[in-house]
Chain A
Amino acid sequence: EPEVTQTPSHQVTQMGQEVILRCVPISNHLYFYWYRQILGQKVEFLVSFYNNEISEKSEIFDDQFSVERPDGSNFTLKIRSTKLEDSAMYFCASIGTSGSNEQFFGPGTRLTVL
């Protein structure tokens, strides 16, 4: 069964460093999302992406964040200069064309900023 994959599973970085989190959505999906979950808290929407551009972003998604679909299969989230408060699980999700518009989530990347 097709699934969303994410790499790495765990990323440790120093404050101020740039990180790139990678996602491979399900191949025929068209809409892509990033969500964040700080440990023990709820899942928060960061950004949605369709047709090679951002369709919506939350207040969390400030100028330090960017997304890209560089090659038609990968979907990346870049954080330019990480802060301690960026430590969280980051989930990628994608939507296909089924009637329920259900989002399929990847396994997540745990980002730890020291």
Chain B
Amino acid sequence: ELKVEQNPLFLSMQEGKNYTIYCNYSTTSDRLYWYRQDPGKSLESLFVLLSNGAVKQEGRLMASLDTKARLSTLHITAAVHDLSATYFCAVVIKAAGNKLTFGGGTRVLVKP
């Protein structure tokens, strides 16, 4: 059974500093997604990573994928307050019908 683990569960950030969220998964996957969720809201897709070594960047967020280590990271550069949210990684195995298996989420709070 596929297991997806994120750490840390909670991250208190200072504005202007850099941080990393980690996502480990237990079996070979076909793609990995990062989502952002604001309180009471739906899931906003940030990145999809398809292959080993993939790196995607958007603004202050950068995601990478190491399929050999079964590890993805979401790096936040120079955190700002509006990045406060919960971030989820989710893994897809095509043979499992393309369903998403989510990590537990990382709640990020950026303090001034």
Contacts and interface: CB of A to CB of B under 8 A. Distances in A.
Interface of A: 31, 33, 35, 41-45, 48, 55-56, 91, 93, 95, 100-108, 110
Contact of B43 (A48, A95, A101, A105): A105
Contacts of B50: 100
Interface in B87-112: 88, 90, 92, 94, 96-105
Main secondary structure of the interface of A (DSSP, over half): strand
A93 B45 CA distance: 12
Contacts, number: 52
B28 to A, nearest CB: 17
16 contacts: A35-B100, A41-B104, A42-B103, A42-B104, A42-B105, A43-B90, A45-B100, A45-B101, A48-B97, A48-B99, A56-B96, A56-B97, A101-B31, A102-B48, A106-B42, A107-B41
A37 B25 CA distance: 20
A55 B92 CA distance: 15
B97 A102 contact: no
A44 B102 CA distance: 7
A99 to B, nearest CB: 9
Interface of B: 31, 33, 40-43, 45, 48, 50, 88, 90, 92, 94, 96-105
A91 B90 CA distance: 15
A106 B41 CA distance: 10
